[in-house]
Amino acid sequence: MRVRGFLRTFFLLALLFAPDTGPALPAAAPGESETSLSPSLSPAPARERELVILTIRGPTTYRDGPGGAAGFEHDLATAFAQSIGARPRFVLMAAPGEILDALARGEGDLGAAGLVRSERPEGKVRFGPSYQSVSLQVVCGRGRRAPSGVMDLPSRTLVVPAGSGEERTLAQLRQALPALAWESPEGAGAAALLAAVSRGKWDCTLASSALVALERRHRPGLKVAFDLGGPEPLAWALGPGSAALESRIITWLDRFRQSGQLDALLDRYYGFVEGLTGSEIQGFRGDVENVLPGFRKLFETAADKHDLPWTLLAALAYQESGWNPAAEGPRGTAGMMMLAAGTARLYGVTDPFDPVQSIEAGAGYLARMRAMVPKTVKGPDREWFALAAYNIGVAHMKDAYTLASRMGKNPNRWADLQEILPLLSEDEHQKTLRYGFARGEITVEHVKSVRNYQNMIERALGQGP
């Protein structure tokens, strides 16, 4: 083990101090980026320029999707690996404690799994700079008597992941509350334990606010009892002899943050999460199960014709009409996609209440909006810009681009533009723009809602985080 750890450190140092001679290598294909940790794992040859990243499967870390591996931690670690010209190789572990133990043995380069930055006994593991702050929340199942504070915890059945920051927090609390007890099932991650709590297997668990916000949309049986302390920093864990790697991470993360790319990545995975009520979540889940199947083929056909994700088109339709073909709006919009009369005529719609015509026209219009998005807008942002244009119109989007540039924001990034759109309704800005007043804040909420519904549809179908 010590020899392997030494060799890994040697090869990694060679990589870190190698001169920058060209662009970063692309990430490995999904099927090539994952392995199982075993005693036979050996360091890759230096020429492969490989960075071994230990993580866990979960909504905020690493998941398999239609487009391959994804997840906030996956994307962030991949961006760092590419910045140093390395090929990322993700090793899936069962729980945070296993990641820290493996790093201490030199069996990986860094741990990226939503880990709370903290001290590790004997200094075997160190933590890099923080990239995100979350609150640790006590989350309980509905129908259970929720604790009102820390003093109530000893009377509840608690469960947390083994070797996690949550478990260390409880261990510290037990010094003042000797009766405090909990379970830590081997191999169970935070998301799995939230699911178990929602089913009533335990009373409560501890989890990060970011994960809880994602999971509560899919598990309306969860409720937050209280926050346990203030915001906690998340950071990557590093093994022994990792000073050079830590230095590169610090430098890179500072540039990544200053460029706005970190905010954009956070927005991609968390920016759409809304505070839907439990009844709203249950209502939507019921519609996904009972109403969506009747229209799914129409969404798939229209989306395929216009090269759109069908789940995006379905989510837009739900935001517009709640999948009601007979819906009517206050300004003359009508039908499943709530098309304005002029748009309906443009796409040859003879009956706005015919779901076939409405969905086809809505898909065509959304595709047209996407085609008009500047080519400088890349990735998923193109779809979000198109959603905004679908709601507010291309003219006001042009004003938003102008204002973003004027205010030093990046007009090609949704994370920046969503800060600008609400300003279109303010006097000091609208009077200086070509197309004048617009309710940009409504557009921002529109895009968030559609993204939220799309994610919830994909999660219900086993495709999303």
Residues β-bridged to residue 126: 238
Q: Per 3-state DSSP, what percentage of the chain is helix, strand, and coil (rounded to 5)?
A: 50, 15, 35
Q: How far apart are CA 355 and CA 320, in angstroms?
A: 13
Cα-flanking dihedrals φ and ψ of residue 55, to 5°? -150, 180
User: What is Dmax (Cα atoms) for the chain?
Assistant: 74
Residues β-bridged to residue 132: 234
Per-residue CA distances from 73 to 55, 60, 215, 373, 394 (Å): 8, 7, 17, 28, 34
Contact 183, 156 (CB under 8 A): no
Residues β-bridged to residue 34: 90
Q: How far apart are CA 338 and CA 450, in angstroms?
A: 14
Q: Within 10 Å of residue 321's Cβ, how many Cβ atoms? A: 22
Contact 55, 61 (CB under 8 A): yes
Residues β-bridged to residue 136: 208
Structure token digits, residue 6: 């030494």
Q: How many residues does the chain have?
A: 465
Write out the H or E segment, with its range, that includes residue 282. Answer: helix 278-290
Q: How far apart are CA 91 and CA 413, in angstroms?
A: 31
DSSP codes, 414-436 = HHHHHHHGGGGGSHHHHTTSSS-
| Residue tagged active-site, from 50, 73, 166, 320 | 320
Catalytic-residue membership of 320: yes
DSSP codes, 326-378 = T-B-TTS-BTTTTB-HHHHHHTT-S-TT-HHHHHHHHHHHHHHHHHTS-TT--
CB-based contacts of 261: which residues, under 8 Å, 6+ apart?
A: 79
In 3D space, the residue among 341, 347, 382 whose CA is nearest the CA of residue 364 turns out to be: 347
Angle at 253 between CA 248 and CA 256, to 5 degrees: 125
Residues β-bridged to residue 205: 139, 159
Q: How far apart are CA 170 and CA 161, in angstroms?
A: 11
Residues marked active site are found at 320
